[in-house]
Amino acid sequence: MNQLRTVAALAIAGALATTPALAQEQQQGPPPATTAKAIGKVKRQGKKTATLRVRYTCESGTTLWISLKQSKKADKAKALTKEGSSKVAAAWLQSHRNPITCDGQEHSTVFTVDKVEPGSKGTLKKGKAWLQFCITEGDALTLSKSAWVNVK
């Protein structure tokens, strides 16, 4: 009987010891999700450049690669969603040069893509484009989001 009381007392003591940690976690909440979402439409700036506002949150990362690929018909061509799709894209604007802030907070930033980097080609037309938004830290990919976006 005394053993049962001892086991029960230890279980209660253990539960009480973890309660402050649980309460603190509930107050702080879970860490923010790592997300990225295009806001509005891609704005073409001549034949070689375009901009797009993206709302994003990231905990860590130092380099952003943002890419817009488009088919010849400027439609939702499934081939653009696959690995190596830059070969079949009629237009491909990209950049590794946009600054980012990864601090766990939400940011809304206008990013620029252009034809400066090797492999970039073509001109975006009004229609649809495949967006890739990837943040890395060293060799580690910390955020990767892709979606169809409208080009105006």
pLDDT in tens, 49-105: 999 999 999 999 999 999 999 999 999 999 999 999 999 999 999 999 999 999 999
Which pLDDT value is given to residue 33? 61
User: Above pLDDT 70, what percent of the chain?
Assistant: 78
- Does pLDDT of 3 surpass 60? no
Task: State residue 18 phi and psi, 5-degree precision.
Answer: -90, -15
**Structural element, H or E, at residue 106:** strand 106-114
Which pLDDT value is given to residue 36? 97
**What does the domain layout of the chain look like in residue ranges?**
1-30, 35-151
Contacts (Cβ under 8 Å, ≥6 apart) of 143: 34, 35, 36, 56, 58, 61, 133, 134, 135
CATH number for region 35-151: 2.60.40
The band of 28, judged by pLDDT with boundaries at 50, 70 and 90, is low
Alpha carbon of residue 119 to chain centroid: 22
